Amino acid sequence: MLSAVRALEQLLLPAECLVCHGLLAVAHADDLVCPVCRLRWRAVRPPWCERCGQPEPHFGPCRLCREWPEALRSVRSGVWLDGGARSAVHALKYGGLPRIARDMASALSRIIARPPSGARLVPIPLGSARLKRRGYNQSEVLARAIGGCWELAVLPQLLVRTRDTPTQTALTPAARLANVAGAFQLRIGECGLGIGRHPGSRSAIPNPQSPIVLVDDVFTTGATIAEAARALGAAGFTSITAVTFGRASIPDFT
């Protein structure tokens, strides 16, 4: 019955792909991006720096991740941020279409290897002003969708952003680092106790041995992820990785 209603709805209000505006088949009516456009999302593939997932430099060690905190083991991205992938991120962030996170998560979860069971997904938090304006944190919506695909728990409350940082667009890599310095900390538990000091706390602070997977929509220089990992590392977490849906090709700032 439900499918008959859906088919009728599809007939009256045919859904179209957000990227190419082609009509979506009934089987894909719940998606926002059609299968053809999804296939055009260009997966990020090796050879890459084993740690940051950036294509290997032609010579010498990778400069992108050399300043990262030790606890941050590796970062992987699903697709290159061009064409339709950029439209998807735009829809998620500015288009008021958090539902698109499902399309993005299903693509990402097929490209990136699933983290071990027991890993917790931790979205990069937004500052309070931006959260209020947008109404949702796009990284949290994405993390929840990825958690559904990989069957991993999401801890949206573990990290807080202590201040609203200006948008990173148009900043050089060095300016990006300075921009996010000290921007994250662990949320203090319900009884005012920090991590590891209150095992009975009902607040969802995991054991520092648990693998943590940070989730963000886009990776540009990694400054934000590195800073979030620094806050987790300072709290005793030793196994931190990160996944992002998109990876921007880094502009040449020199």
Question: What CA–CA distance (Å, rounded) separates 98 from 250?
Answer: 26
Q: Which is nearer to Zn ion, 140 or 216 (CB)?
A: 216
Site string for Zn ion, 38-57 (x = CB under 5 A): -----------x-xx-----
- Minimum distance between the CB of residue 220 and Zn ion, rounded to whole angstroms? 14
Q: What are phi and psi of 77, to 5 degrees?
A: -120, 150
- What residue has token string 């040449």? 252
Q: Which 3-22 residues touch Zn ion, going by CB under 5 A?
A: 17, 19-20
DSSP 23: B
* Half-sphere exposure of residue 56: CA atoms within 13 angstroms, side-chain side: 8
Q: Write down the H helix ranges in the chain.
A: 2-12, 35-40, 83-93, 100-111, 128-134, 138-150, 173-180, 223-234
- Minimum distance between the CB of residue 74 and Zn ion, rounded to whole angstroms? 9
Judged by CB under 5 A, the residue of 24, 32, 37, 85 near Zn ion is 37
**Among the residue ranges 1-9, 60-68, 116-124, 171-179, the one whose residues contact Zn ion (CB under 5 A):** 60-68
**Among the residue ranges 27-35, 108-116, 177-185, 236-244, the one whose residues contact Zn ion (CB under 5 A):** 27-35
Whether 78 and 244 have beta carbons less than 8 Å apart is answered as yes
Q: Which is nearer to Zn ion, 47 or 199 (CB)?
A: 47
- Minimum distance between the CB of residue 77 and Zn ion, rounded to whole angstroms? 12
Judged by CB under 5 A, the residue of 24, 44, 65, 141 near Zn ion is 65
Q: Which is nearer to Zn ion, 34 or 91 (CB)?
A: 34
What crossing angle do the helices spanning 83-93 and 138-150 adopt, rounded to 10°?
Answer: 110
Whether 143 and 176 have beta carbons less than 8 Å apart is answered as no
Judged by CB under 5 A, the residue of 24, 44, 64, 85 near Zn ion is 64
Peptide bond into 98 cis (omega under 30): no
- Minimum distance between the CB of residue 226 and Zn ion, rounded to whole angstroms? 11
Question: What CA–CA distance (Å, rounded) separates 188 from 194?
Answer: 5
Q: Which is nearer to Zn ion, 95 or 127 (CB)?
A: 95
Task: Point out which residues bind Zn ion (CB under 5 A).
Answer: 17, 19-20, 34, 37, 49, 51-52, 62, 64-65
